[in-house]
Amino acid sequence: MPAILDPGQARGQPPAGGTRSLRRATVRPVTSEAPLRLMTAQELLAYTHEPYQQELIDGILFEMEPPGALHGAVSMRIAALLHRHVMNAELGIAFGSEVGFQLASDPDTVRAPDVAFIARDRADQIGMPKGYWPGPPDLAIEVVSQHDRRSKVEAKALQWLAAGTRAVVVVDPPSRTATVFRTGGDIRRLHADETLDPDDVVPGWSPQIAEFFV
């Protein structure tokens, strides 16, 4: 039976959690006879354990159950809105489906937002990797699922910012709100009748928050 650990327990630090809570954070048992062996991003890319989803934090593997239907529907709506605008305006690349972004190496960290955007200049410079995207997205959007703890959601948003993401939007379907995180401690909560305006990150994209929800 694999050990079930929280990221903070694994590293002796506060957890760097996600919008999808790391509720089945799975690593090999740690004993004095068998020290923990860290996983690399390349190994994670080749690893599968259905139906769980995986992320890597400081070389330690964490697995999450698949999110529910509401989470999936809201994520798809946001991704569709962003993708259409980005394609029409030729702004760069929009990602859905929880694409992995490698935020650190040795030990490796690979996190996956629900929706993401890469600006055109970076996309042209890097091209389309076959593996994980090297570095953070310019915009990361996380959709809160039913088991997420607020502390984990906020910790993951701050981790994105620390890695270089320019703006993080945490969307909460039950409250029909979106919280925008930016560097310097700038945090703003928007309600369904308000408009998201990350114009400095995604020029011209200004959806009403209500458009995100089913």
Give percent of the chain with pLDDT exceeding 70: 84
- Nearest to residue 68, comparing CAs of 46, 48, 49, 53? 53
Domains and CATH numbers, the chain: 3-64 (no CATH), 69-212 (3.90.1570.10)
- How far apart are alpha carbons 94 and 107 in whole angstroms? 27
- Nearest to residue 20, comparing CAs of 194, 195, 140? 140
Question: For residue 189, what are the β-bridge partners?
Answer: 179
User: What average pLDDT does this structure show over 184-193?
Assistant: 94
The predicted pLDDT at position 208 comes to 97
User: What average pLDDT does this structure show over 163-168?
Assistant: 97
- How far apart are alpha carbons 115 and 76 in whole angstroms? 9
3-class DSSP state of 56: strand
The per-residue pLDDT for range 62-118, each reduced to its tens digit, is: 998 888 999 999 999 999 999 999 999 999 999 997 799 999 999 999 999 999 999
The predicted pLDDT at position 34 comes to 55
- How far apart are alpha carbons 105 and 102 in whole angstroms? 8
- How far apart are alpha carbons 203 and 200 in whole angstroms? 6
